[in-house]
Amino acid sequence: MELHTDVLLVTANVGSLFDNVGEIESDWLREFFTTVHTYKPCFIALHFQEVGGKDYMVNMAHAENFFWTIESSSEMKDFDRVCVYVDSHFKAEDNFTALGSMYFIHKSLKNIQQYDFSAKEFKSVSGHNKYVGSLDGVATVEKEKFPKNFWPDIKWSRKGYMRTRWIIHNQGLDLVNVHLFHDASNLIACNSSPSVYSTNRQKALRYVINRISDSSYSPLPFFLFGDFNFRLDTLSLVQNLSTSAEVQTVKKDSSNEVEKIIYEEKDNDHKQVLLHIETKLFAYLHQAVFRENNGKELLKYDKEIAAFHDVITEEEILFPPSYPYSEDYTKPTQYMNTRCPSWCDRILMSHSAQDIIQRREEGESNIVYNTLGPNVCMGDHKPVFLFFALKNNVH
């Protein structure tokens, strides 16, 4: 009997895919299908954020078509059971999250069930099950937008989480699609350490973990994957990047508000701008540092997950920051100078989930944690995937 099931988890913020309709999509799909072909998983979970992009009212039909393209493709024909959940009901502003989750079950995988949250029992999965629009009343998914009163000082946005629950060969697990708040202003982000945004994200993530761990349903090992919007500790990073530079702060004439911060390097008698920060500009002269050695030097500034080490862990990051890549088709490995590059897109897991991943003996690892399409334009976020063997719980 098989002692494990090969699983592929993918998270992708696809906002820019729909804002540049047509340009990126075919390459995006090719990279995804190639990954499926390379690793040959029996169970695939795809978590999408920002379905429909910024202009979701216009693009939602295209987004639904994108899901259909994946589902009906010849590359996925051996996956005979599919569950699709797309929260595309943007008119319901109080509930809309723009999250989408797709689950594919290979014909060779016999022993799998999905949880019905209203009947509070697991049921076998058959055929193609598609839920697009409002997900209210869909019993196999749990979805919540973050409460409005949670962050009174933040513009309320389509952020939240979506959970499904599975049993694969007697091993239960929760798969949670998450989208947390972004950094609205680079200037505010480098005001304090940790930043006010980081504190808000921490509160939101704690909320999600508490919700999926409460006693409504008995807690199971869980994988949280999505766009956490985790950013590098910008204040510490900027201080370190600009130790020998002269700083100049430019304020708006009318108010005392800071408009830009410019760090200049003295090079003989010539001054050159090392780093220029504005609300939506983070232009660093030596951008290559974010990709050198997969950005390894910068991981020490990636601190947001540290607050959760009591409940969450993650495989080692060996890939460069997943955001913000250029949306220019011809510059697939360059970052835009809008934000400080960061590992926003992640696959996190509870300690109990880490225990159900099969690990080989020392040496060769059968776990792959990486980005999709590293050398292809995938939009401003590179999707992140985790491939592993799930231990079968053989009774």
Q: pTM score, two decimals?
A: 0.96
CA 324 to chain CA centroid, nearest Å: 12
Angle between helices 56-72 and 25-39 (to 10 degrees): 30
List, run by run, the mean pLDDT of 10-residue segments along the chain (395 residues).
87 90 86 97 97 88 92 97 95 91 97 95 96 94 88 75 96 97 93 92 94 90 98 94 87 86 81 92 91 92 96 96 93 95 98 91 77 96 97 80
The two structure tokens encoding residue 189 = 């982000």
In the chain, what are the domain boundaries? 4-185+194-232+286-391
Q: Strand 128-133 vs strand 142-145: parallel, antiparallel, or unpaired?
A: unpaired
Q: What fold, for 4-185+194-232+286-391?
A: Deoxyribonuclease I; Chain A (3.60.10)
pLDDT of the residue at 156: 66
pLDDT of the residue at 243: 84
pLDDT of the residue at 238: 92
pLDDT of the residue at 256: 83
pLDDT of the residue at 236: 94
pLDDT of the residue at 34: 97
